[in-house]
Structure 1
């Protein structure tokens, strides 16, 4: 019976493992229904490599263009790639974020046909008068454009409704309107310099024989700003109207500057004390309104992007030459300001995708662990070494991005929810390895990679769902590397050790409940000792971290404790661990009770670590996030495990009691025979 159960679990584990691999493969595979973008040609790798580390300002910091493109695409498209075909039956072309953004900037006629916008409910499109395809699909800018005005009109009305009172449809309309507006800002970043400014004939002067309208470059008009201002002043002094040709020119300039005012902050400011980089639109208007002394530099910048935008019509090689010139100029100025030193490191960080490699090795370790549990003797020993090796390789591939993120951000490794996920994954391997070194039962050895697979998948889901750059500067209250180090890291390690307690409890419950422990009492005792020790570690870390958090709160907010949800969650972990330890020391819970309490502890940790960020209240408002359905799933699994454990504990107690009653019935009879003898 035990062998049968083990094989059933083995095949169930293989099925689960295959499901994870299939999910990862589906995520990496381009969608089957490619959209046709007539004449589309992929950017060359040389161009992408050149543009990758182009510095821009976004989110309060200077970052490479590839980072900006990646998170923008996540927010609008819901993934980091989309697929098109140049012809109806052509080969699929997978477009990554950087290539997608270059299309928007320099090939808008193609970009507007790409399926950029993710729509989860077709009712949104129906409401704005656009015919949908499936209930959930991706749509291009051109496909949504007929309902654009209706979309913004509805969004303006829904925006006045309090967030908690909005329906799902109303919120999705608002999200689509926001994404559509953001996309239009990107489209406008270079729109002003692509086509130039159309010149009207000057009144009183004979028109040229050629009827074709003349086009002036924006930089050319900027260079004549003093003359334009003089003409305007003379017109106002005479009480006359602005000449029509000048009025048309200025209106085009104003419209173009407004369109390119907020899509891309590309140019470092001339002043060393100025922090904000400038968009093309700001560069133009600062000259026309006499708000800058760097007129020559402004004209030079606009001339550079004019040449760059028009070079794409010649060839990609010509475009790459002009892009290299512009990048060299911007990089030199950024270096003089000390704002470029981490750009190459960040571009390499996203290019390597360390966590994807870590996930692969954790999956291999999981598969080896399943084989280790199914075999015995020398084969099991060899497989255990394989699990150790692949787990620590994967652990190293988690540590590397943590260190790189610290260098890029210039702060300790934990500052937001995304940071906590990968940090906890690394800490679980560390705590689990220490516990396994004392136990030497190969139980936690196999459980560690399984837990880390789930955490890295959670990190990926969170990054896609949140669609924000988690290396952007923290809110002001968190900008203290001292407190981030001693408080936040301590409390996060407490979360990790609490989850290790839960992992030990799950292993114990499954072994005892499914009868896979083979009656090995020493194995059960070793698991119980490990769980007890980790409860003590969790209590220490959580208590110290909570007290340190109170000291920080007193320093920042003027009070040690305010019953904030995050503070309450930390206190709940401390109280839960105290209750477990006192119940164990007082004899109220035995082995089963300790491990079931450890599983319940995971729900408390989940609430404090994650769920309080969804309550939309409290001073810890830097961590609010979505995903309540996933939290409910975690609580449901924890509840089912506890119910299963309680049932198995009752069954185990009944079997033990029945065995004792049988022994008591046999003992007098045997004693009587001895007396007769």
Structure 2
């Protein structure tokens, strides 16, 4: 009976979670009658790769506002509708509070009183554009790491304003009758000047011609030039009709024009519609956001199991974890297919992959030990890594084109994946140790001995796993370095960090084998492994150090410093006696789970 109830709770939670995730796949309804889903499906070239308009809209709004939708005049404005307004009704978009500004000095420069409202419209920014440009260009003359807080904020605002202005002039020039007017006036003297301005300002290229290279794509200005020479792209007329219909509020005509534009693009390159359709579904599904939600549910179920009906709630938590792992895996696989690359290509994807690896290991551990502890630690690790990934999306397209030094599917699929699995294992071992510490101080008497031994066994096994993959990954990295730079090892900060992870995991195991540390010491050392791994992973990639630095972020320093401080604090708690705040905690000697070492040990 107990086994039947356990299975029912597991499968019930897993199926319920997967059904909830599947609901995200349902296309959004029409907005005021306009088929924004078909508009979002249209293929464009931006940032060196083909993507749906939906991706451009989401990434642009994310960069400008740090959100993918917002409320305006009592209604929710989704990214695709916002982009339609920016392209075809800029006077409406200018009134929407699309810009987030947090820096008090930037607000002071604009003469705006700081308040709880952090969002501002382009209309509010307009009187200050000259000053924003002047200050922003001056700040951009400095290296990112040398800028003050204000200089970093004003440079960021200038970049977002510039992006917004480019978007407004991508398909047609602002304050002109529109794309249909440009088509009708191709032979006039002023038309060539306007076409040149559009070509220079355009943010993306929506018109494809025969060919598979980036040169096969035209922006609106170039497409109008082709039309002036008698080679009009059929997509151009469809976009012109979309512009007229959207401004006039004619939903039926807009919907027909959007379908015609999609069909015309598909007629030139048949695989485009399928490719952008896949990415559109991926965007709609938001697998990593859904994964975060499921990991939180798994954590909550495990917490409840510690105080109420563990026979039901513990397997339910495991069901949520497995469902989250499946959704997480589906998201990873989709990214691999869309990019045509291995799963780790940049810092964002590494955060997603590290979390996935920790979750998969946690699923296996929970299957082996059935204590609920594997579920809790894996869910926490998965959630934390996806939160980190979420905060890395503000820079734009997370499926960006590869840097030349990384443009190798073989080494991305061997060295990068292997070393990242080592990160996952080291972080999971540290997470298990943190969980052991929390349980030791919150459970009466430090908890039962069987569970304590099980957690110790999990941590030991994961450290062995992490050592193996970290070592293999580091060796593979040296071989790649030898092929790329002509030397196997150069004491680059990233190389040193990778070596430190290997050495630290080896030190933990040797300290245990030699009897220098026992349960409590291993846990403290495993937590310190989090610090070493974070410095190798983020400290180099995000703080502008060495050949492997891929972009300085000033916020990363304080986030990284805070994380390191938290790990040192937890290590201190790990080394303290259990429930040390209770009377007599220090007089009771060592924990009952950890006998004092013999003299000489």
Measured against the shorter chain, the TM-score band is: 0.7 to 0.9
Q: What is aligned with 2:241?
A: 307
Which segments of 5 or more consecutive residues in structure 2 lack a partner in the other structure? 1-29, 593-601
Q: What is aligned with 1:191?
A: 172
Q: How many Å apart are 1:543 and its aligned residue?
A: 0.4
Partner SS state of residue 655, structure 1: coil
Q: What is aligned with 2:6?
A: none
CA change 1:296–1:346 in 2 (3 A) is same
CA change 1:145–1:448 in 2 (3 A) is same
Q: How many Å apart are 1:521 and its aligned residue?
A: 3.4
CA change 1:71–1:529 in 2 (3 A) is same
Whether contact under 8 Å (1:576, 1:601) holds in the other structure is yes
How many residue pairs were aligned? Answer: 556
Q: What is aligned with 1:218?
A: 182
Q: What is aligned with 1:475?
A: 403
Partner SS state of residue 450, structure 1: helix
Whether contact under 8 Å (1:368, 1:384) holds in the other structure is yes
Match of 2:159 among 154, 173, 178: 178
Q: What is aligned with 2:288?
A: 355
Match of 1:388 among 318, 334, 339: 318
Whether contact under 8 Å (2:295, 2:383) holds in the other structure is yes
Cα distance in 1, alignment partners of residues 527 and 71 from structure 2: 44
Q: What is aligned with 1:257?
A: 196
Q: What is aligned with 2:547?
A: 619
Q: How many Å apart are 1:286 and its aligned residue?
A: 5.6
Whether contact under 8 Å (1:112, 1:142) holds in the other structure is yes
Cα distance in 2, alignment partners of residues 475 and 447 from structure 1: 34
Q: How many Å apart are 1:345 and its aligned residue?
A: 0.6
Cα distance in 2, alignment partners of residues 490 and 391 from structure 1: 24
Superposed CA deviations along residues 402-444 of structure 1, whole A, max 9, x for unmatched, are 1111111111111112212222222222222333344443322
Whether contact under 8 Å (2:540, 2:549) holds in the other structure is no
Q: How many Å apart are 1:639 and its aligned residue?
A: 1.0
Whether contact under 8 Å (1:185, 1:260) holds in the other structure is no
Moved over 6 A (4+): 649-653
Q: How does 1:124-143 map to 2 (within 5 A)?
A: 124-127=106-109, 129-132=110-113, 134=115, 137-143=118-124
Which segments of 5 or more consecutive residues in structure 1 lack a partner in the other structure? 1-41, 86-91, 198-214, 225-248, 289-294, 660-677
Q: How many Å apart are 1:655 and its aligned residue?
A: 2.2
Q: How many Å apart are 1:648 and its aligned residue?
A: 1.8
Cα distance in 2, alignment partners of residues 315 and 309 from structure 1: 10
CA change 1:537–1:302 in 2 (3 A) is closer
Whether contact under 8 Å (1:190, 1:309) holds in the other structure is no
Match of 2:44 among 36, 52, 56: 56
Matched, 1:603 2:538: no
Matched, 1:72 2:60: yes
Matched, 1:282 2:217: no
Partner SS state of residue 571, structure 2: helix
Q: How many Å apart are 1:251 and its aligned residue?
A: 4.1
Could you tell me the TM-score, scaled by structure 1's length?
A: 0.76
Superposed CA deviations along residues 474-519 of structure 1, whole A, max 9, x for unmatched, are 1122222221111111111111111121122123223333454566
Q: How many Å apart are 1:120 and its aligned residue?
A: 1.2
Q: How many Å apart are 1:99 and its aligned residue?
A: 0.5
Matched, 1:508 2:436: yes
CA change 1:332–1:426 in 2 (3 A) is same
Q: How many Å apart are 1:304 and its aligned residue?
A: 4.1
Could you tell me the TM-score, scaled by structure 2's length?
A: 0.86
Q: What is aligned with 1:454?
A: 384
Matched, 1:166 2:147: yes
Whether contact under 8 Å (2:43, 2:206) holds in the other structure is yes
Superposed CA deviations along residues 112-143 of structure 1, whole A, max 9, x for unmatched, are 1111111112432442x554553762211111
Match of 1:97 among 44, 56, 79: 79
Higher mean Cα deviation, 62-71 or 503-512? Answer: 503-512
Higher mean Cα deviation, 561-570 or 270-279? Answer: 270-279
Superposed CA deviations along residues 368-393 of structure 1, whole A, max 9, x for unmatched, are 11122224xxx322222212212111
Cα distance in 2, alignment partners of residues 426 and 491 from structure 1: 14
Whether contact under 8 Å (2:377, 2:431) holds in the other structure is yes
Match of 1:374 among 297, 301, 307: 307
Which structure would you say has the larger RCO, counting Cα contacts within 8 Å and 6 or more residues apart?
A: 2
Q: What is aligned with 1:268?
A: 208
Rg larger for: 1
Q: What is aligned with 2:266?
A: 331
